[in-house]
Amino acid sequence: MYYLIRIAYDGSKFYGFQRLNDVESVQKVLENALVVINKKEVFVKGAGRTDRGVHALDQCVSFKLDINIDCDGLKKALNSLVEPYIYIKEVKEVDKDFHARFNVKRKTYLYKINIGEYNPLLSDYVYQSKYKLDIDKMKEVGNLYLGVHDFSNFVSGERDNNECVIYDINYRIKDDILEIRFVGKSFYRYMVRNLVGMMIEIGRGKEDINKVKMMLEAKESILGYTAPAEGLYLEKIDY
């Protein structure tokens, strides 16, 4: 049987999504739990590989089991094995050709910035800015990101093509927390954190918006800024 699960997790408790031998990762916890249920080795495929400290409200994972178990039973069994820092929100059966990453139509990432008084209880869950931020200038930067661009200066790692599309960026302030949502087809490693990093630097007046234009247009490498991991959430996956 082939399954897709939607999960949420507290990224501050893991060294990222991808399985690592000597440290705790989300994939490692899920696969270890599925081995208990399946009685055989199970390999899962995630919709995205969140980094250490990055949270998820709606990560999606697909896998195959050798046993036949109904979705409600699988959800209960998994949650009993992966809580308290991972929670399976939904389980559904899928076709054998379904792939959690390759079938994605769009992703939504959320970045949270505390623009009010420092709150120690939020230290693992939002970026707490030490600077007064000009949000209008940050929105100007966001407008430059919209559409199709070569984001080579905003990603980490080597690949043949860093071109992708951002459909929408929206903003909301609630209880002194600035929420920035990015909706796009694909996001590469560190991309959202680097996009936000430049927004913060320009919002605090340290950099000029023309640097962002250069980073989007230039073929050579231009050093930017990476926002901290704790403010980032994988919020939604659409298929």
Residues with a catalytic annotation lie at: 51
Q: Is 228 exposed, middle or buried (0-12, 13-18, 19+ CB in 10 A)?
A: middle
With vertex at residue 83, the alpha carbon angle to CA 77 and CA 85, rounded to the nearest 5 degrees, is: 145
What span, in angstroms and rounded, lies between the C-alpha atoms of 190 and 226?
Answer: 7
Identity of the residue numbered 146? L
Single-letter residue type at 43: F
